[in-house]
Chain A
Amino acid sequence: MLAPPVRCAGLAKRYADVVAVAGLDLTVNARECFGLLGPNGAGKTTTIEILEGLTAPDRGEVEVLGMRWTGGANARALRERLGIQLQDTQLAEKLTVEETVRLFRSFYRASHSVEEVLGLVGLEEKRAAWVGKLSGGQKQRLAVACALVSQPELLFLDEPTTGLDPQSRRQLWDVIGRFRAAGGTVLLTTHYMEEAERLCDRVAIMDHGKVIALGTPRSLIASLGAEHVVEFALADGATRAPSPSELAALPGVRAVRPGLDRTALTVAEVHRAVPALLGLLERRGAELSLLATHHATLEDVFVSLTGRQLRDA
């Protein structure tokens, strides 16, 4: 059987005063889109850069496409088969899109033509434009084009859609979708739940350099034991607020998470929990200032595991 595209065990890396990765095991299967999900500083970028052979781990084993990062000709042979997009690369502003792709293309033996790869990311019309004149989304698609030009078997994307508007984000998702449809394997990092749920077959949720949950987005959400989240806030603050134990006793409620400005309930049956909640509040004379329900997301999984929001963790 073929080795999995990415396998690592016991990975650890510390910088002067910070532990970036603290013992991490991962396996990414062939043709899979695997997501590393977590807040900023969780160790996602360090992890992906170790896998990319750009950072040496303090401890642990890494195998990429069945090979190890040993340097020299071996590493070059491995790099021929990878496509890499880094989080904060700024491509030369005074080169055109076409010149940039042609430059990256020249580093690889086998590669797409410039036309093909610009077609893949939808930048055909910008081929003569200077990189400095592109929008954020276009720059990001160009960065992915430079990763795809080698016809990689395995694509590493580090926060590919951070800072992009929703439309640009969707365009990039389409690019990734087409790469997967052609049989490619993807490992990406993100701190957008929606992106992970939409793109990834499996997700590893990271926090403080460790994987704290691993599975398909659906199974992770199901692990909450409930599919909905009800959030409410009171107009007159905490004085008339029901206690967590009262809330937990309501029908259908599985978990209660008091927050700073609102309280979140994880519930199995919205149609029973919400009327019961409203009845309870009415009996206490509390006035609602906010009531919202949504399907449980990976965000809720993260919050239930760490007690913190992903975005501000």
Chain B
Amino acid sequence: MRDHPLVQLTLARMREFYREPEAIFWVFGFPIVLAFALGIAFRNRGPGELRVAVLRGAGDSAVAAALARAPGLTAALLDSGEARLQLRTGRVALLVVPGDPVVYRYDSTRTESRLARLEADEVVQRARGRADPARVTDQRVTEPGSRYIDFLIPGLLGMNLMGSGLWGVGFSVVQARTKKLLKRFMATPMRRSHYLLSFILSRLVFLFLEVAALVGFGWWMFHVGVRGSFGAVAFITVLGALSFAGLGMLVASRARTIEAVSGLMNLVMLPMWILSGTFFSYARFPDAMQPFVKALPLTALNDALRAVMIDGSRLSALGASLGIVTAWGVVSFVVALQIFRWR
């Protein structure tokens, strides 16, 4: 059993991987570093304090004092030149010019500025004696799964499956080809199917560790949970890993040099890094692009992972996404086999 060619080929794959410290970092360390950095940078703090400037002049101190008392606002008295500069550079969200009428200067395309205008106007109107006719109370809630990190972890998982699938398979195949190792194997009775299967098997072994590391880190550091079943997550990640292994095989099927395959990999991966909703929602792209974006394998994989991890969906509800992922894998693999350069 131990000396079965498939076992030996798979062991060789795995040894070559774990004896390469750089590879370990890029597969296991990098996504965790990325999750950590982005999770910290975009943690939910609310909008924070908004800085508002009041132009020096008649009645300025009364307005500034009223603004400063309002929760969520700080006010500064500034001269006209300084006020313009700070407004332009975004250090104040709004410039209030006291008088009659009161003038608000701000950039209406900035969310912060519009918020500051609403808050400041509230203060100004009440100071002039406005009374609110309706009684209201606030109830603040934080919905689990609504934070950025909850969105990010499944995306990073998908991106990692793509990266290690493409690099893990594509790079090794082309390296074996440039070093004439592939040709040497062809000079033995080795079965080609064993060679290709060994990539799939070693991917599956490392896949388990990759997923466990990232999901475990997300849960431990940011309490990112999995709402759906772990079985569903396992199924989707295995499917994704196989699909990207197929794509990796396709990318590597003809390339003769490492440079050529690196270029092809980036050509394949770069659009998906940007378009497939790893770091931000792909809904931001124009409607005309949506059919294309949704047809990408990483988009479908990310959608499926988020549906299970955030919304707790069942696999049966994910037919379309899983279908896209499977189709990419099967088509790539079949084409790769047809055009594969075995020497």
Residues of A within 8 A of B (CB): 52-54, 76-77, 79-80, 82, 84, 86, 88-92, 94-95, 99, 102-108, 146, 150
Contact = CB atoms under 8 A, between A and B. Distances in A.
Interface centre among B180, B185, B188, B343 (most CB of A within 10 A): B188
B135 interface: no
A89 B184 contact: yes
B186 interface: yes
Nearest to A88: B180
Contact of B183 (A89, A99, A150): A89
Given A86-B184, A95-B16, A106 B3 contact: yes
Contacts of A94: 15-16, 19-20
A92 B3 CA distance: 18
Nearest to A55: B343
B171 to A, nearest CB: 13
Contacts of A103: 8-9, 11-12
B190 interface: yes
A90 B176 CA distance: 9
Interface centre among A84, A89, A94, A106 (most CB of B within 10 A): A106
B144 interface: no
B130 interface: no
A102 B9 CA distance: 10
Contacts, number: 68
Contact of B8 (A53, A77, A79, A106): A106
A92 B189 contact: no
Contact of B15 (A86, A88, A91, A95): A95
A50 to B, nearest CB: 13
Contacts of A104: 188
A108 B188 CA distance: 8
Contact of B12 (A52, A82, A89, A92): A92
B180 A107 contact: no
Contacts of A79: 187-189
Contact of A54 (B4, B9, B186): B186
A53 B5 CA distance: 21
Contact of A106 (B4, B180, B183, B343): B4
Interface in B177-204: 179-181, 183-191
Given A99-B15, A106-B4, A90 B180 contact: yes
29 contacts: A53-B187, A54-B186, A54-B343, A79-B187, A79-B189, A84-B188, A86-B184, A86-B187, A90-B179, A90-B180, A92-B12, A92-B16, A94-B15, A94-B16, A94-B19, A95-B12, A99-B12, A99-B15, A102-B3, A103-B8, A103-B9, A103-B12, A105-B3, A106-B3, A106-B4, A106-B7, A107-B5, A107-B190, A108-B189
A94 B12 CA distance: 9
Given A76-B191, A95-B12, 9 more contacts: A54-B183, A89-B184, A92-B12, A92-B181, A94-B15, A94-B16, A94-B19, A102-B3, A106-B8
Interface of B: 3-5, 7-9, 11-12, 15-16, 19-20, 179-181, 183-191, 343
Contacts of A90: 179-181
B197 to A, nearest CB: 14
Nearest to B16: A94
A86 B183 contact: yes
A102 B4 CA distance: 10
Given A54-B343, A92-B16, A94-B16, A107 B181 contact: no
Interface centre among A90, A91, A146 (most CB of B within 10 A): A90
Nearest to A76: B189
Contact of A91 (B8, B11, B181, B187): B181
Contacts of B3: 102, 105-106
A134 B7 CA distance: 25
B192 to A, nearest CB: 11
Contacts of B343: 54
B181 A89 contact: yes
Contacts of A53: 187
Give the 4 A-B CB pairs with smallest separation, nearest first: A90-B179, A106-B8, A84-B187, A94-B19
Nearest to A132: B19
B204 to A, nearest CB: 20
A146 B184 CA distance: 10
A89 B176 CA distance: 9
B172 to A, nearest CB: 10
A84 B9 CA distance: 19
A119 B109 CA distance: 78
Interface centre among A53, A54, A92, A146 (most CB of B within 10 A): A92
Contacts of B191: 76
Given A102-B8, A106-B3, A80 B189 contact: yes
Contacts of B180: 86, 88-90
Contacts of B181: 89-92
A53 B189 CA distance: 12
A76 B190 CA distance: 8
Contacts of B179: 89-90
A95 B17 CA distance: 10
Contacts of A89: 179-181, 183-184
Contacts of A80: 189
Interface centre among B15, B183, B184, B187 (most CB of A within 10 A): B187
Nearest to A96: B15
A77 B190 CA distance: 11
Contacts of B20: 94
B5 A106 contact: yes
B183 to A, nearest CB: 6
Contact of B187 (A54, A77, A88, A105): A54
A79 to B, nearest CB: 4
B185 to A, nearest CB: 8
